[in-house]
Amino acid sequence: MIQKIETRFPKWAQAVLELQLASYAVEAKLINFDDLPPLKDTVETIQQSDEIFYGFFVRETLAGAISYERQHQTVHICRMMVHPDYFRRGIASSLIQFICDLENDATEITVTTGTNNAPAIHLYKRHGFKEVGKIEVASGIYITKFSKRLAM
């Protein structure tokens, strides 16, 4: 169901890109901002990323994915994406819990999302993330940063 994705291989980078474009197009609409960096990625930029990717598969289909980076004791979720055809099936929750379990020796997990992305904010709060700040990324467009302390 959840497995590591080796994005250095073009086939997997392409699959991640297709999922990402579908998923982040929904966020762009929710926050009324079409200039989201994930919508500008290419197969090559995904292949060059140092992020660690895991995918949630439904049969052979990549239905969701998460990527993250780890620095010392902090894990930062860089991308959280679920294909719109698979919304509201617990995929994002499964991916978050998977990373929390996998990186259980970290002390903190952080993530950002569009301040007007109510479904994502609800998801992170439901998983114990607390709002720690807002950043204006374009005129009138804000992202909210969340943090979750992990038990050691």
Q: How far apart are the first and last CA of the chain?
A: 27
Give the mean pLDDT of the chain.
95
In CATH, what number is assigned to the domain containing residue 18? 3.40.630.30
Give mean pLDDT, residues 143-150. Answer: 94
Note the pLDDT tens digit of each residue in 26-57: 999 988 888 888 999 999 999 999 999 999 99
Q: Which residues contact 2 (CB under 8 A, 6 or more apart)?
A: 54, 55, 56, 57, 94, 95, 98
Taking the C-alpha atoms of residue 10 and residue 7, their distance in angstroms, rounded to an integer, is 7
Give the percent of the chain with pLDDT over 90. Answer: 89
> Tokens at residue 76, please?
């930062």
The pLDDT, as a whole number, for residue 32 is 87
SS3 22: helix
Segments forming the whole domain that contains residue 25: 2-149
Q: Which residues contact 65 (CB under 8 A, 6 or more apart)?
A: 5, 16, 19, 20, 53, 54, 55, 56, 79, 81, 95
Q: What is the pLDDT of residues 55-74, one digit of tens each?
A: 999 999 999 999 999 999 99
pLDDT above 70 for 118 = yes
Q: How many domains, the chain? A: 1
Q: Is the pLDDT of residue 151 over 80?
A: no
pLDDT at 101: 94
Q: What local confidence, expressed as pLDDT, does residue 99 receive?
A: 97
Provide the pLDDT confidence category of residue 152 given band limits of 50, 70 and 90: low
Residue 150: predicted pLDDT: 86
Residue 129: predicted pLDDT: 97
